[in-house]
Structure 1
């Protein structure tokens, strides 16, 4: 399944009865909540000695993806466009792949931009 197909199918369960500002708030807040659930899975594994439950992790990542897909959709943005822009940014930032020196000496960092990706 490609990203745009996923986005279209995810939109089937989008709450169409809310305004765009409400949708923005719902999806942004939902995204942070689901990202927190992913983080909790990792925390329990790393710090509490739990096995990392791959199935639960997939479910939570799927929930994150659902919110991202719908947040993009209510802004008329296709997921494939988001993915392509992100890869192009990363290729420019790390032309030979990630390394610490490029991360520390990023052009954005020299301009005072504190973005972390």
Structure 2
């Protein structure tokens, strides 16, 4: 005669077994719970264990990195090329600071509007 399935929540039984035996492998946990009447396999134990670890970790922040040889995505609202930024930095350095560079740009704008 076949064994009757154990009553209760499989996932909770797995979590309890993992807490009681943190050093055991998923296969060992599956065998232990199968003896208690639960129908499950090591893969299911691994899934529950992975979900436990993911929830306990608080969620890692994923960092987007560009693949080698691919152009970058660009920043939020930043649509200038590297050459333009280099030129702007050179202007700021040669002017002696950002305020002086702004004054130079304002003067250039006045000259441009005059013609």
Q: Give TM-score scaled by structure 1 length.
A: 0.23
Of the two, which has the highest radius of gyration? 2
Q: Give 1 or 2: higher helix fraction.
A: 1
